Structure 1
Amino acid sequence: MPEHDEVITLVDEENQEHDFTVVDVLEVEGSEYAILLPVQEDTDEAIILKFAKDEDGNDLLVDIEEDEEWEKVADAWEELVMKEGEES
């Protein structure tokens, strides 16, 4: 699992590489998710991907298929960011 603020490279369906900063890793309902920000783009829009395992047991990051699952993770991260903001 990547460390926070680590830069990772992901390969898309067209075999193009994209660099992302790992902003956070959080657990929601027993699954782990990575909150990523694109390195090259000027955007504050985070990408949320789910940790999964391949057939060899290696960690993978996959798209979240269900809108409801994505909403739960986005809400949990937003709540975490709000709490951290209140503590600063």
Structure 2
Amino acid sequence: PEPYGIIASDLSSRGDAHHLIRVEAGGSRRPASAATVAEGGHFFKMDGRGVRDFVAEHVPPALLALTRRAGVDIGAVDHFV
């Protein structure tokens, strides 16, 4: 069979985009309390349009750089996770 599996990986973070996806309470900064639970601070919150814009701007160049580092043509990759 043709080669399969993980060809390459990359992990990065962008602290400047922290406001796009967040859980505002329940961690070390704002520990769980009756007040944080009552205000719904433990729920996942996301700026959907902001995430879409971030992904559209930053993910394609990151995937291109990743495949170049791996020495693989981007068109040869079936799936990115």
TM-score, normalising length from structure 1?
Answer: 0.34
Q: Which has the higher helix share?
A: 2
* Greater Rg by CA: 2
| Higher RCO (Cα < 8 Å, 6 or more apart) | 2
Q: Which has the higher strand share?
A: 1
